Amino acid sequence: MLFNSIQFLIFFPLIVAAFFAIPQRFRWLLLLLGSYYFYMCWKPEYIILILISTIIDYYAGLGMDSSENPGRRRLFLMMSLFSNLGLLFAFKYFNFFNDSARALFNQFNIFIDLPTFQMLLPVGISFYTFQTLSYSIDVYRGERRAERNPGIFALYVAFFPQLVAGPIERSTHLMPQFYREYHFEYQRVGSGIKQMLWGFFKKVVIADRLAILVNTVYNDPTQHGGLGLLIATYFFAFQIYCDFSGYSDIAIGAARVMGFDLMENFRRPYFSKSISEFWRRWHISLSTWFRDYLYIPLGGNRTTKNRWYANLFMVFLVSGLWHGANWTFVIWGGLHGFYLLFSIISAGIRERVSRALGLLSRPELQRWVQVIITFHLVLLAWVFFRANTVGDAWYILTHLFTDWRLPQGELLWGMRRADFLISLLGIAFMEVVHLGQRYGRTPPQLANQRPAVRVMAYTALVLCIVLFGKFSASQFIYFQF
């Protein structure tokens, strides 16, 4: 079930009403059944994968918890790792590695017929497998006790607001919340709905509209000139942000309506002054996952310099691969790894350049220069992320500054002029709100206004969504990961 579907508009109020209407001891059951239903509306049989992951990790957790023997504990951890990563590999990466191996063999004139696995990628598999893995690793490390209640554990794996596209929650944060009793609180419910509205605005007014132009250009880049390629690349940066952060806002808001607190996933990432800051603001739940469960176990920065660099680069390569089974994602991850290493190595030089340009004495100007440079580095990497093939990405990068002509006819790169204008206005409005948030103004200021003003502001937002939203129930981009 998509958040931006009529089904969800029906499902959500009913679940919330039932949640507050029934006694606390049955609420986990309602949420669990609701979550399974939410997932099964996409493809019912794939619920089996979630059940397999849930059962194995539940018993692996109990096994680790009940044993003092390190070897036995490691065995249970391996069982969890192999089953979850095995599912992920089988459904997401098998064909990718197969194709890559076939292409490699072909280079040496070795032609072998490797089998392909014709299965649909289960929605959200990367999210729920990573979430359950974090639980198993936490239990193994002794950072938490195993969950005894299988229902609560199953709900942790399948909790519908964040099941298919995160935030990837830690068991220590989310699971205890399922034991607490929540009452209908006007302030909290209102705040959750406002965040959902903001997410819907980003998704249906901005992201889905930008998708029209981005898809037209990126699905056939050779048919478009440099101006189209450049605009599509800028648009994609905002499309993916609005799509994914919009999803996170709806997820966080929906959970908050019922009383649950999910972790923040985006913090205005395009205002980052460096790539490392960008990764502290973009998909925070994944970045911290990789930090805690891959980067630090690899040794982090408490090792030799070369090993540290290798660790950083490795984490970004894996992060790229996590996003999709395609070399474009690996290159995207590699580029970010390279940026980060370069920024560490060149810190001294960059400071000298800043001093020479007189930027150090103008911190506000320096900050904006850094923000603009970081944004464009991220933008460059997005080309690989969005392009269908590495060849397409290369074509786009090498043709960005050629043939700057406006297209003829009523459409601008597949998009109506009115849509183009609404896109620009939507992005501008969102960035004004972000700037307000950055300087600590917008939400508190609105909250301090008279009730009538607040009602008008939120009614205007609803009207914007209703009048300018795209309601084709298009999938969220991160579903495919």
Which CB atom, from 112 or from 467, has the smaller least distance to other proteins?
467
Of residues 30 through 49, those in contact with other proteins by CB under 8 A are 37, 40-41, 44
Q: Side chain identity at 133, as an amino acid letter?
A: L
120 binds other proteins (CB under 8 A): no
DSSP-derived letter for residue 314 is H
DSSP-assigned beta bridge partners for residue 411: 416
The CA distance from 168 to 8, in Å, is: 21
| 255: CB partners within 8 A, 6+ apart | 159, 161, 162, 192, 261, 262
7 binds other proteins (CB under 8 A): yes
Q: How far is the CB of 7 from other proteins (least distance, A)?
A: 5
Which CB atom, from 349 or from 418, has the smaller least distance to other proteins?
418
Peptide bond into 407 cis (omega under 30): no
Give the pair of three-digit tokens for residue 64: 């680790």
Among 150, 190, 225, 226, binds other proteins (CB under 8 A): 190
Helix (H) or strand (E) holding 411: strand 411-412
For 132-168, the three-class secondary structure string (H helix, E strand, C coil) is: HHHHHHHHHHCCCCCCCCHHHHHHHHHCHHHCCCCCC
The CA distance from 335 to 232, in Å, is: 20
> Is-catalytic flag, 323?
yes
Cβ burial, residue 466 (10 Å; 0-12/13-18/19+): exposed
User: Which region among 25-33, 173-181, 281-289, 465-473 touches other proteins (by CB under 8 A)?
Assistant: 465-473
Site string for other proteins, 398-437 (x = CB under 8 A): ------------------x-xx--x---------------
Which CB atom, from 103 or from 467, has the smaller least distance to other proteins?
467
Give the pair of three-digit tokens for residue 62: 């109990």
Among 144, 268, 399, 454, binds other proteins (CB under 8 A): 454
22 binds other proteins (CB under 8 A): no
Number of residues counted as binding other proteins (CB under 8 A):
28
457 binds other proteins (CB under 8 A): no
Which CB atom, from 428 or from 466, has the smaller least distance to other proteins?
466
The residues carrying an active-site annotation are 323
Contacts with other proteins, residue ranges (CB under 8 A): 5-7, 9-11, 13-14, 16-17, 37, 40-41, 44, 186, 189-190, 416, 418-419, 422, 451, 454-455, 466-468, 472
